[in-house]
Amino acid sequence: MEYRAFACAVTALLATRSARADGLADEDVWRYRSSAIAIDGGVVAALPAALETGLAKGAGAGIAVGRTLFWGARASWVAATETAIGWDVTHHDVKLRLIGGAQTSVGRGTFGLRLGLGGTLVHELRTRIHGDIAGSQGALRETTASSLLPAADLDGVVSLHVTRGWMMIVSAGPSLTRVDHALRTGWNSYVGAAWQL
């Protein structure tokens, strides 16, 4: 146990010395800057736009321009698979949003509210369970359909400046999608990293 503590102390000392030898002091490593343009990417978890149950998971990215008031665009892809009577159903949701919002900074943190308006492209794949055993092939075994649905998101966004232009971002909030002439509510969550230009 004492050996591990000694090894950790020596490693930290060598890392500090090498950083200072390169001309970087401790305060330089954690210094951050703020910019009006940020590009981010990360992972998404959400309720599927049109599938009644399940959890959709995938990836998302976006760009935001502005400081107190900002605007930009976001895109994400998520997928969910559930089993219905006789079928395996997979939904792929591609979400495209124009965004706008407001934010304020407190120390290293930024807190904001973001509204997104746009569409969700839903691609559904249905595969008959044990269709090969029953002799089903082609259209009898698989069916596909796609639909573009109008949608809106309202997310609370928290960003933390880490070092230089890098930030960590967490966002979550409700969503509203028009499915079959009715409004369906859901939610979105996102964790990612951003780089300020």
Same domain as 137, residue 111: yes
Same domain as 43, residue 1: no
Same domain as 18, residue 47: no
- Tens digits of per-residue pLDDT, 130-174? 655 555 555 567 889 999 999 999 999 999 999 889 999 999 999
Same domain as 97, residue 16: no
Between CA 50 and CA 58, with CA 54 as vertex, the angle to 5 degrees is 85
- Tens digits of per-residue pLDDT, 70-112? 999 999 999 999 987 788 999 999 999 999 999 999 989 999 9
What's the CA gap between 127 and 142, in Å, rounded? 5
Same domain as 118, residue 24: no
What's the CA gap between 131 and 102, in Å, rounded? 52
Same domain as 52, residue 147: yes
- Cross-strand bridge partners of residue 178: 183
How many structural domains are present in the chain?
2
Same domain as 162, residue 109: yes
What's the CA gap between 18 and 167, in Å, rounded? 25
Same domain as 98, residue 73: yes
Same domain as 26, residue 37: no
* pTM of the model as a whole: 0.78
Q: Can you give the residue range of the structural domain that contains 21?
A: 1-31
Same domain as 94, residue 169: yes
What's the CA gap between 57 and 77, in Å, rounded? 8
